Amino acid sequence: MNAPSRPHLPRGPYLLCDDSVLPEISLVDKAARLVAGGARVVQLRMKRTPVREALAATRQVVALCHREGALCLVNDRVDLALLADADGVHVGDEDVPAEDARALLGSGRLVGVTVRDVAGARAAQAAGADYVGLGPIFPTSTKQVPAPVLGLETFASVVRDSPLPVVGIGGVGLVNIASVAAAGAHCAAVVSDALLAADITERVRRLVAAFEQGRSGA
């Protein structure tokens, strides 16, 4: 029997559904608003949610995303990704090592890895990753990051030399997502700029349009 082929990571905004941002709205409701705006990649980041509640939410968000043709990735929690049949995981500096995530997930799911430079991207490729999250590009208040801000020029340089598709991370929003796309990013991760917008769905629509404008040089 042939192994299942892993999904392709779509270009565009990469939306994080984070339990620490706008906590008064459920993860499922937030994900629904993101997908309604055109998000094709949703990452669930659940640092505060109890594990049983997190599993239930992950199953619901995975089902929602798949109905709408979007991917659902889980931050850190390989176990939740497997139990909920998510499309993959994203792991960071203090999470499960990429090679172990790949061993657990098999060949049919995506593995993303946070890196800070080209050497990190090459190591991620050797460990079996499909893409890397590179940053922070800009200052961010959503998450404490023990790494220097790259800026667009350095970011673009790493993107050019990366052996894997790059998701730009850190401080990305409507005011700069076109510049991140123009710098060569495959995707651009957005957290608070979308979730704290007065209208989440409309903000995602605008983020999608701005990313495409940046890609096309419009």
Annotated binding residue 144: no
Annotated binding residue 75: yes
pLDDT digits 0-9 by tens, 1-10: 455 688 999 9
Annotated binding residue 141: yes
Pair of tokens at residue 184: 């060569």
pLDDT digits 0-9 by tens, 116-142: 999 999 999 999 999 999 999 999 776
Annotated binding residue 114: yes
**pLDDT tier at 75, thresholds 50, 70, 90:** very high
Q: Whole-model pTM? A: 0.94
Distance CA 181, CA 84 (A): 31
Q: DSSP letter for 74, please.
A: E
Q: What percent of the chain has pLDDT over 90?
A: 90
Annotated binding residue 1: no
Annotated binding residue 115: no
Over range 51-80, report the average pLDDT: 98
**According to the model, what pLDDT value does residue 144 have?**
66
CATH code for residues 12-216: 3.20.20.70
Question: What are the structural domain ranges in the chain?
Answer: 12-216
